[in-house]
Amino acid sequence: EPEVTQTPSHQVTQMGQEVILRCVPISNHLYFYWYRQILGQKVEFLVSFYNNEISEKSEIFDDQFSVERPDGSNFTLKIRSTKLEDSAMYFCASSERTGTFSNQPQHFGDGTRLSIL
C-alpha cells in the first residue's frame, strides 16, 4: 500500500537555526497538510496546500513557517528561525480529494520529531 514518507525521523537543531522537514506524499494525491503535536498534547492542524498554494493555515502557522512543493514529489515545511517551543512531532499528510464529499481519509506519515536545543 502506498504511504507518505517523512525525513528525517528525528531532527535536532539549535535555537535560531532554520530547519526543513521533508515529506513525500502519495503520488496521486493532490492535497497536502502539515500537523504538529507537542509532546503529550493533541495533534494540531498547521496548514493545507493545494495547487501550489496554501488553502488554509492556522494561527500557529505564522511568518516563521513556510511550505513548498519544490518538485513533483516533495512537500516541505520550513521553519526559519526555530524557537524552543517549536519542539514537537510534525506530521505530513496527503489526500486524493478534500471537502466533505471526499471518501478518502488523510494518509499520515510517521512524523518527524523536531528537538530544538
Partner 1 sequence: AQKVTQAQTEISVVEKEDVTLDCVYETRDTTYYLFWYKQPPSGELVFLIRRNSFDEQNEISGRYSWNFQKSTSSFNFTITASQVVDSAVYFCALYNQGGKLIFGQGTELSVKP
For position 100 contacting partner 1 by CB under 8 A, the verdict is yes
Q: Please say whether the dihedral angle defined by the alpha carbons of residues 55, 71, 21 and 32, taken in this order, is positive or negative.
A: positive
Eight-state DSSP code of residue 25: -
Site string (57-86) toward partner 1, x via CB under 8 A: ------------------------------
For position 7 contacting partner 1 by CB under 8 A, the verdict is no
- What is the spatial distance between Cα 117 and Cα 54, in angstroms, rounded to a whole number? 29
Name which position in 21, 77, 90, 95 contacts partner 1 (CB under 8 A). Answer: 95
Name which position in 89, 90, 94, 114 contacts partner 1 (CB under 8 A). Answer: 89
Which parts of 24-43 interact with partner 1 (CB under 8 A)?
Answer: 31, 33, 35, 41-43
For position 52 contacting partner 1 by CB under 8 A, the verdict is no
Q: Where are the alpha helices (DSSP H) in the chain?
A: none
- What is the spatial distance between Cα 16 and Cα 111, in angstroms, rounded to a whole number? 22
Interacting residues of 99 by C-beta distance below 8 A, sequence separation 6+? none
**What is the distance of C-alpha 7 from the center of its chain?**
11
Name which position in 48, 61, 82, 94 contacts partner 1 (CB under 8 A). Answer: 48
Q: Which residues bind partner 1 (CB under 8 A)?
A: 31, 33, 35, 41-45, 48, 55-56, 89, 91, 93, 95, 98-103, 105-111, 113
